[in-house]
Structure 1
Amino acid sequence: MLFLPLFFIVPKAFGQDEKKSIELKTILDNISLQYNVKFNYAEGDIKGHSIFPPPKTLPLRAKLVYIANRTNLNYKEVGEYIVIYSGDKPGKKRCAYIIDEFGYPVGNAVIQLPDNEKIVTRNDGYFELPSSFTGIIYIDHLNFEPVSINIRDFTDDCKEIVLKLEILELEELVAERYLATGISKKRDGSFTIKPKKFGILPGLIEPDVLKTMQQLPGINSIDETVSNINVRGGTHDQNLFLWNGIRLYQTGHFFGLISALNPNLANEIKIFKNGTSAFYGESVSSAVDISSHTTDIGKGNFTIGANMINIDFYTKIKASENSNFELSARRAFTDVLDFPTYSKYSKRIFQNTVVTGLDNSTDVNYKSDKEFYFYDFTGQYHQKIGSKHNLYVDVIGINNNLDFTQGTINSQTVVTEFSSLKQLTLGASANWKSQWNDNHSSEAGFYTSYYNVDGRNAAIETQQIMEQGNKILDIGFKLADSQKITEQYNLHTGYQFNEVGIKNSDNVNEPSYNRTVKEVLRTHSAIGELDYDSENKKIHSRGGVRFNYIEQFSMFYAEPRLQFNYLLAPSWQLEVLAEMKSQTASQIVELQGDFLGIEKRRWVLSNNNDIPVQRSRQISIGATFKQNGWLISLENFYKKVKGITTAGQGFQDQLELRNDIGSYTVIGSEFLVQKQFKGFYTWLSYSYNNNNYRFNAFSDRKFPSSFEINHSINTAAIYEWNNFKVALGSKWFTGRPVTLPISSELNFAAASKPEITYNFPNSNNIENFFQVNFSATYVIKATENSQLQLGISVLNIFNRKNIINRYYRISSENNGIEVVNTYALERTPNALIKFSF
């Protein structure tokens, strides 16, 4: 009785299918229109064939297999035609096509066959299997969960395989292609840059992380260098820079005009302006975490390139199935060749220093009087141990070298004096990462970082020789563990130890003076952090706390961190970020002429007295809208940093020789609007900062910070078409604060020597900054595995004469007051050629 109805239903169903069968000629005509292809066949071959039409969602080649299996007709592609013909009975083809959960085809998926041969799917997700293969195939794609399928499961028709999107904790996007391809904003509040996917930005032809981050709202460089990056009004030393776990105290070549990090290296860069994870310490401003670690061994490759400043190379060597080496090196040829780029960089960085003459600021003959070059190198070894463990060993080296010779002829002989400035960074780290199972992972790491800057200034007029040194040795290790407690909660715990020693030395021959100061601090940190994701995926939050203990001060304090993201609607997200942070190492300027006036900042450690531990607190609230190619974001923030010193702010007025302790407070807003039209997109960002100091020992009144940029506007128009990319953009911001003299006359009564009497600090501003930049790149595919990249950029297209700093000094010629301006880069071209295989 139960099976009886089937005898009536099944025949009816088959009857309906037969009624819906269509002549093959009509089916081919429909396919021709759908895919814009042409069929060639003899009418007699297809006459009499009527079949049920294939589903419209099938890829073209899957439909051809479908037809061949039902009509016993053959097919082949000849030029622009698909030929259908009768002949020997075709064998059954085993094919499949891959789609995602939304029905879109998945191209470039990798199919691993039982004999280790690999097949890559077409753009329509289609692939075929040789008839001789048996066993299990593995399908993998970067953005999807891998799957395994037994070949026996393949039917006569093409098999449909659905890949599920891979869900990564803390990696959900707020916005993809943020400003440029390869830049995205995550739900944990961070910005991520993937250099290998990097598109283009105005003025940049390589994915330089330190220049790229300056395009983000709220991040500027007040003197257009990468060694003076100001995040929401902070100083450069208040940012934490990590490379594979190694803390970097030097970030620039050419004393800040070029990034010290090879752009070929990084696999992923994370930038936090606020809401930093509790695993990051030693900064009261931003954190920049640069990693070149990957979990897979990958294939070997080689890249060599050059621009108008340096030549570089990068190589990845696959030593075995479970290990590889990565090596990179870069060296300037500025001591051999003199291109226009070097001339402009040289004029910018050495102006108003000993190299160009402090008295008249005129450039000397640099071809004979100064010799400058830089180099950097990195090495990485990756070893997979079993299926759960990865070992990484990394080394890095960064060097700047300037030699400067002065000469003069007196009545008796030729007098020459030799000065030099050398800046060196060396670092090494070892990291062990274990993925015990899908819910549990752990990590252990050790690093050491060494920084040294030596300066020798020999004055030809007085025969005085001043030698200076600033050395840092930083050693640390960490333990971290991550455990998925439930589907909604993840617990992260860890411990970190750091020992930092800093040595400062000065040696002068006339008058005889010698000083050496060495300080050491050891800090222990315990970390706890909890992630939460709601079941409906609308809420993502992370709360953590970092407990710090400084041995030398017997100081214990906690730093809470918070990140909260709420999906208000499919197109709207609300974000709240908050944090408290601290740091013990900072930079100060003792004298503006230290280290030839070029690298005048030196690192010092807190002594819990006149150099306190810096402490910060920050909160921000923002919203993001994303729909139909539009991206709009607005963020408001409040930030306060205590424990700063006047020596750490680089004053060049009445506060220059004081050593007062104070704070700065910033209230600001950051806005971005971006629109994308297929390959063309454009954006505009605006930042507002109200940044004020308070030094009670100097004055009860607050006054503008030396790093205040009230208003800043960045714009860009970018077009990407196949392998061609072009970008045009502008940068405008209000001039930095400056302190003016009250009178043009010197004050002879107040001290043993004449002085300049100043107005209230930073009560005026220099002229506004405006610059237009251009860049373009083109990639030529030489073979399937090799390519040639060409690029060109022009900074400051209109050659605008921007002033980026101004101070006043006593003239040695007339005992009056003279103004000294520091100018930004003039029009500066650059070109790139890079070959990869």
Structure 2
Amino acid sequence: MLKCYLFFCLFSLMSLVGLTQDYAEIRITEKLEQQQLTEVLQLLGEKYNLKFAYDNSTLSDQEINLSLTNEKLNNALTKILEGTGLEFTVLQSTIIIKAKASGEIESMSPTRFNFPLNGLIIDKQTGESLPNSIIKIEGVLYGTVSNTDGYFTLLNVPSDTCTIVFSYLGYKTLRLKLDPFSETQNLQIELISAPEMLNEVMILDQAFRTVKSGNEPGQVALNPTQLSSLPSLGELDLLKTLQLLPGISGTNESSAGLFVRGGTPDQNLILFDGFTIYYLDHFFGIFSAFNANAVKDLQLYKTAFPAKYGERVSSVVDITGKSGNMNKPSFGMGLNLLSANFTLEVPIKNKVSFLLAARRSYTDVVQSPLYNSLFDNISGENEKVELPIGGSRRFINKEIDPNFYYFDINGKITYKPSEKDILSFSYYQGRDKLKTNYNVGEILDPDISFGFDYSENDASEWGTEGFSLRWGRQWNKKFYSNINLGKSEYISEFERNRNLRVYLDEESQITNTTFTEENDVKDFMLRWDNEWNFHPNSKLEFGLLFNENDILYKVTSTDFELANLSDKGKQKSIYFQNTSRLFKKLSLSLGLRINDFSLTEQYYFQPRGSLTYNIGKNISLKAGAGKYYQFINRVISESLFSSSRDFWVLTDGENFPVISGNHFLAGFAYETSDFLFDIEAYWKSTDGLLENLRLTEPFFEIPGPTEAFFTGDGVARGIDFFLQKKTGKHTGWIGYSLARVDHNFPQLNNGNDFPALHDQRHELKIVNMYGIKKWDFSLTWVYGSGRPYTSPSAIYDLNLLGGAQKPFLYVGVKNNTRLPDYHRLDFSATYNYNIGKVGKGQVGLALINLYDRDNIKFRQIQGISLGDNSPDGQRLIVADVKLLGFTPNVFLNFKF
């Protein structure tokens, strides 16, 4: 392990070592005819292994016509740049191209003052609009953000000689220098994405960051395309990447669900193109349900989110799907040891774009060593189990025959009938299907042919299907509207058939039982969102939402119905949020959301607010607060004998209380062009928590829900630290969280507080990304202190009628013990290459848990020793269900 830590430290310091190359001996022989200067630099970079750096805006567009024969590099570059107004210099191993110094400084007197500037921001390569782009006036602290469709309005531009700065996460920053003749209305701003830049060229003025703090306190933006080099078991996993940020649990590797600042996954609002996603996992949480190839933008609100969002009490993940290439058709494919994927983008007459992205595992056809490792991690390996019972030794041969696969599909059609309108239809479906056959045989006495055969056949299916139909319109430079109609449905179906045959010689007795569990969540929504820039220093957002949920939860065992919960609830909401800039340095946002819920027949008022104060150019203070309500609840059913099961129910204010939360946030940020240091402290209270406990269920009984529902509340508080290096060959971040989550249920633990199951006091994450020529290397390390669990305090023998005895577990203090600390080191190497002039490709290797750490998922009671011949008396047989050990994966991607 020590060697792995040393390797990790050395990798983190690689950026401090500059590469050197002796260019003096290089000779150039080329015949250049009618070639653009950028093409010439690309040719030289590839053929002669040169590295160039330049600001794209300074390059001349003129053609180069030149013949070079055995020219020294310096002479060749001088001839190439002659007449272009450019010159070069060599810094270490990089050739820097820049504009020649001039003694004249062009100056023009402004003619327009305090005027508006508006337009649309798009991707230059694909023509896709870029939501949440940042637009600022250079030298001024304030600015604005583009809306969902990429439109922006920057009011009160001081003069027509200002420089306007346009930036979007993962794209090259564009600086637009205005002059008295510049157009200021209906601009079309084209930004260049990092993947479209030449692999051999480093842009001096780059802003290709992968993660960025948003404009609101607690907000984070993520760029999917720039994270593909991070270690993963398959394709880029967006939600797993979010788990590398402070404030979000990164040790929960067996679930794609997000534990955000003390909240649980069901308390997060997950939106994809406007409709709600209720389940985020593929393969029991090994992967998330989102295909990164279909995602354009992701905004995360960790705490104190604005009034635009409701119906959850912890956080918001707002995902915008790709619209598809508007300029030319494109096609991509990918393959790894578990699954394959493809993406198709087709434009139609520059007004319509079509995108289709799909993934499917082939684990039901080919079971690779990686799949076997993952499945064994979930279900337990095929093994011979020895259980000491009553002092004797019995041998049970257990075989598991799994059949499993998952798939998801994204489709989107976007139509732009005019410069002001965008219509889109987005569809998503994700499914997991698993069938397992368990066969157990035991010979109790071979001399008399006495024994039993036991088998279980399990079938599970779960997933989400949804769609949205949206119309966005920029009515004028100040007013924008967005109408969204959406529907989604989550299903979870489980069926277990058990067959037991007890035989003695030629006679046998057969018993068959069936256990089924079904959970169905339907969600219908209609929302209307508006943005009105009614004043140069103020923006008003307001809207309406109608939402209907229909939920069914049903459990049966053979001929008995154990549970049947069915309900339908309607919700109407209205919200207002005003954001104003005061005294140039202070930005204040105040909002109110009002909900009317049919099952409780009550109104719920939710005030929200946040502020940001810029002390100087690089330093800002921030704070936020808000009230939140949630009307749907995922109940965790905890058991000592298996992993926790869960199901969704609709709150009714009586049996299932409405969940409410209060958020408070304060922070500090220091940001330069190269680094960001951010600290946020938070306090969150949550009322109406619900648990369904089966801690004392008898061993070997069929696990099913009971009436043991308990309600309580919780408090989460903590502080998150985030240090990010944004530019250069070596980028990445360090995140640390100090947190505490306590719950209180009056009927549990004698009414005393106890740590929540997801309470984790310390968590440290270090992310390194290093790019050199066509290679991208990544190294991540995650550490978390142990999580709590409930360990039984004692075992008693209950005397039954007839003199028989039955062991009984006594559970004392809830979550009274903690698992060992968690830590894991992951590594990946990616090689990027060009496929002629028409495509790009990637091939790579990922190594998960590099030093093979035995991290524990949960502790499971497998049996009770009666201890007839044991000096220790009765004792528990406890198994540590472990997470992934050392796991390698390879992948191949290409796109045309």
Q: TM-score, normalised by structure 2?
A: 0.71
Question: Does 2:363 align with 1:334?
Answer: yes
Aligned to 2:531: 482
Superposed CA deviations along residues 677-709 of structure 1, whole A, max 9, x for unmatched, are 721135322101121111123333211111100
Question: Does 2:212 align with 1:184?
Answer: yes
Displacement after TM superposition at 1:810 (Å): 4.7
Superposed CA deviations along residues 66-107 of structure 1, whole A, max 9, x for unmatched, are xxxxxxxxx9533326669x9xxxxxxxxxx999xx99xxxx
Aligned to 1:637: 682
**Given the superposition, is the C-alpha separation of residues 64 and 710 from structure 1 closer, same or farther in structure 2, using an over 3 Å criterion?**
closer
Displacement after TM superposition at 1:804 (Å): 2.6
SS at match of 1:464: strand
Aligned to 1:287: 316
Question: Does 2:709 align with 1:659?
Answer: yes
Aligned to 2:72: none
Displacement after TM superposition at 1:446 (Å): 0.6
Superposed CA deviations along residues 408-428 of structure 1, whole A, max 9, x for unmatched, are 679799875532011132111
Displacement after TM superposition at 1:515 (Å): 4.3
State the percentage of identical aligned residues. 22
Aligned to 2:626: 579
Displacement after TM superposition at 1:468 (Å): 1.4
Give the Cα separation in 1 of the matches to 2:292 and 2:364. Answer: 22
Task: From 238, 263, 274, give the equivalent of 2:303.
Answer: 274
Aligned to 1:562: 609
Which amino acid letter does the alignment assign opposite residue 216 of structure 2? Answer: D
Question: Does 2:886 align with 1:827?
Answer: yes
Aligned to 1:457: 496
**Given the superposition, is the C-alpha separation of residues 672 and 251 from structure 1 closer, same or farther in structure 2, using an over 3 Å criterion?**
same
Instruction: Note if contact 1:738-1:807 (Cα within 8 Å) is conserved in structure 2.
Output: no
Which amino acid letter does the alignment assign opposite residue 759 of structure 2? Answer: E
Give the Cα separation in 2 of the matches to 1:786 and 1:64. Answer: 25
Task: From 678, 683, 700, give the equivalent of 2:728.
Answer: 678
Aligned residues: 709
Displacement after TM superposition at 1:759 (Å): 3.0
Aligned to 1:226: 255
Aligned to 2:34: none
SS at match of 1:817: strand
**Given the superposition, is the C-alpha separation of residues 317 and 282 from structure 1 closer, same or farther in structure 2, using an over 3 Å criterion?**
same
Between stretches 655-664 and 396-405, larger displacement belongs to 655-664
Give the Cα separation in 1 of the matches to 2:207 and 2:739. Answer: 21
Give the Cα separation in 1 of the matches to 2:522 and 2:884. Answer: 34
Give the Cα separation in 1 of the matches to 2:321 and 2:386. Answer: 43
Aligned to 2:756: 705
Displacement after TM superposition at 1:299 (Å): 2.9
Instruction: Note if contact 2:251-2:782 (Cα within 8 Å) is conserved in structure 1.
Output: no
Aligned to 2:277: 248
Give the Cα separation in 2 of the matches to 1:560 and 1:362. Answer: 60
Aligned to 1:792: 845
Instruction: Note if contact 2:670-2:676 (Cα within 8 Å) is conserved in structure 1.
Output: yes
Alignment of 1:191-202 (within 5 A): 191-198=220-227, 200-202=229-231
SS at match of 2:512: coil
Q: TM-score, normalised by structure 1?
A: 0.76
Which amino acid letter does the alignment assign opposite residue 459 of structure 2? Answer: S
**Given the superposition, is the C-alpha separation of residues 82 and 459 from structure 1 closer, same or farther in structure 2, using an over 3 Å criterion?**
same
Superposed CA deviations along residues 207-252 of structure 1, whole A, max 9, x for unmatched, are 4211011011010155313344211121111111111111111111
Superposed CA deviations along residues 441-496 of structure 1, whole A, max 9, x for unmatched, are 10111111111111111123352111111111111100111111111111111000
Aligned to 1:394: 426
Instruction: Note if contact 2:845-2:890 (Cα within 8 Å) is conserved in structure 1.
Output: yes
Superposed CA deviations along residues 30-86 of structure 1, whole A, max 9, x for unmatched, are xxx9xx999xxxxxxxxxxxxxxxxxx999986999xxxxxxxxx9533326669x9
**Given the superposition, is the C-alpha separation of residues 696 and 306 from structure 1 closer, same or farther in structure 2, using an over 3 Å criterion?**
same
Displacement after TM superposition at 1:506 (Å): 1.7
**Given the superposition, is the C-alpha separation of residues 521 and 480 from structure 1 closer, same or farther in structure 2, using an over 3 Å criterion?**
same
Instruction: Note if contact 1:205-1:775 (Cα within 8 Å) is conserved in structure 2.
Output: no
Instruction: Note if contact 1:246-1:449 (Cα within 8 Å) is conserved in structure 2.
Output: yes
Instruction: Note if contact 1:396-1:427 (Cα within 8 Å) is conserved in structure 2.
Output: yes
Between stretches 252-261 and 812-821, larger displacement belongs to 812-821
Question: Does 2:463 align with 1:431?
Answer: no
Which amino acid letter does the alignment assign opposite residue 886 of structure 2? Answer: R
Give the Cα separation in 2 of the matches to 1:379 and 1:415. Answer: 45
Give the Cα separation in 2 of the matches to 1:388 and 1:640. Answer: 43
Considering only aligned residues, what root-mean-square deviation do their CA atoms show, in Å? 4.3
Gapped regions of structure 1 (runs ≥ 5):
1-32, 39-56, 66-74, 87-96, 113-138, 154-158, 169-176
Which amino acid letter does the alignment assign opposite residue 726 of structure 1? Answer: F
Instruction: Note if contact 1:429-1:447 (Cα within 8 Å) is conserved in structure 2.
Output: yes
Instruction: Note if contact 1:222-1:736 (Cα within 8 Å) is conserved in structure 2.
Output: no
Aligned to 1:620: 665
Task: From 805, 829, 838, give the equivalent of 1:776.
Answer: 829
Give the Cα separation in 2 of the matches to 1:786 and 1:399. Answer: 31
Give the Cα separation in 2 of the matches to 1:562 and 1:355. Answer: 57
Question: Does 2:819 align with 1:766?
Answer: yes
**Given the superposition, is the C-alpha separation of residues 683 and 414 from structure 1 closer, same or farther in structure 2, using an over 3 Å criterion?**
closer
**Given the superposition, is the C-alpha separation of residues 798 and 385 from structure 1 closer, same or farther in structure 2, using an over 3 Å criterion?**
same
Aligned to 1:123: none
Aligned to 1:130: none
Which amino acid letter does the alignment assign opposite residue 297 of structure 2? Answer: E
Question: Does 2:575 align with 1:539?
Answer: no
Give the Cα separation in 2 of the matches to 1:277 and 1:362. Answer: 57
**Given the superposition, is the C-alpha separation of residues 413 and 748 from structure 1 closer, same or farther in structure 2, using an over 3 Å criterion?**
closer
Displacement after TM superposition at 1:110 (Å): 6.8
Give the Cα separation in 2 of the matches to 1:473 and 1:667. Answer: 33
Displacement after TM superposition at 1:379 (Å): 0.8
Task: From 554, 562, 576, give the equivalent of 1:528.
Answer: 576
Which amino acid letter does the alignment assign opposite residue 422 of structure 2? Answer: N
**Given the superposition, is the C-alpha separation of residues 779 and 612 from structure 1 closer, same or farther in structure 2, using an over 3 Å criterion?**
same
Superposed CA deviations along residues 760-818 of structure 1, whole A, max 9, x for unmatched, are 11222111111111112121012333111112111111111111322446527766422
Alignment of 1:488-507 (within 5 A): 488-507=537-556
Give the Cα separation in 2 of the matches to 1:358 and 1:193. Answer: 49
Displacement after TM superposition at 1:516 (Å): 2.8
Give the Cα separation in 2 of the matches to 1:148 and 1:629. Answer: 26
Alignment of 1:94-173 (within 5 A): 144=174
SS at match of 1:748: strand
Instruction: Note if contact 2:661-2:685 (Cα within 8 Å) is conserved in structure 1.
Output: yes
Give the Cα separation in 1 of the matches to 2:421 and 2:57. Answer: 40
Displacement after TM superposition at 1:570 (Å): 1.4
Aligned to 2:407: 375
Aligned to 1:20: none
**Given the superposition, is the C-alpha separation of residues 731 and 656 from structure 1 closer, same or farther in structure 2, using an over 3 Å criterion?**
farther
SS at match of 1:556: strand
Give the Cα separation in 2 of the matches to 1:528 and 1:356. Answer: 63
SS at match of 1:229: coil
Task: From 396, 417, 428, give the equivalent of 1:385.
Answer: 417
Give the Cα separation in 2 of the matches to 1:270 and 1:355. Answer: 45
Instruction: Note if contact 1:340-1:829 (Cα within 8 Å) is conserved in structure 2.
Output: no
Give the Cα separation in 1 of the matches to 2:123 and 2:553. Answer: 56
Larger radius of gyration: 1
Displacement after TM superposition at 1:187 (Å): 1.6
Give the Cα separation in 2 of the matches to 1:60 and 1:193. Answer: 29
Give the Cα separation in 2 of the matches to 1:514 and 1:653. Answer: 15
Displacement after TM superposition at 1:277 (Å): 2.1
Task: From 53, 67, 75, give the equivalent of 1:78.
Answer: 67
Instruction: Note if contact 1:646-1:656 (Cα within 8 Å) is conserved in structure 2.
Output: no
Aligned to 2:746: 696
Task: From 768, 780, 798, give the equivalent of 1:748.
Answer: 798
Which amino acid letter does the alignment assign opposite residue 792 of structure 1? Answer: L
**Given the superposition, is the C-alpha separation of residues 683 and 652 from structure 1 closer, same or farther in structure 2, using an over 3 Å criterion?**
farther
Give the Cα separation in 2 of the matches to 1:58 and 1:376. Answer: 39
Between stretches 658-667 and 293-302, larger displacement belongs to 293-302
**Between structures 1 and 2, the one with greater strand share:** 2
Displacement after TM superposition at 1:531 (Å): 1.3
Give the Cα separation in 2 of the matches to 1:434 and 1:355. Answer: 61
Displacement after TM superposition at 1:297 (Å): 3.0
Which amino acid letter does the alignment assign opposite residue 470 of structure 1? Answer: N
Displacement after TM superposition at 1:432 (Å): 0.5
Displacement after TM superposition at 1:348 (Å): 1.6
Task: From 441, 444, 469, give the equivalent of 2:480.
Answer: 441
Give the Cα separation in 1 of the matches to 2:499 and 2:427. Answer: 40
Give the Cα separation in 1 of the matches to 2:330 and 2:696. Answer: 50
Which amino acid letter does the alignment assign opposite residue 670 of structure 2? Answer: F
Question: Does 2:392 align with 1:345?
Answer: no
SS at match of 1:760: coil
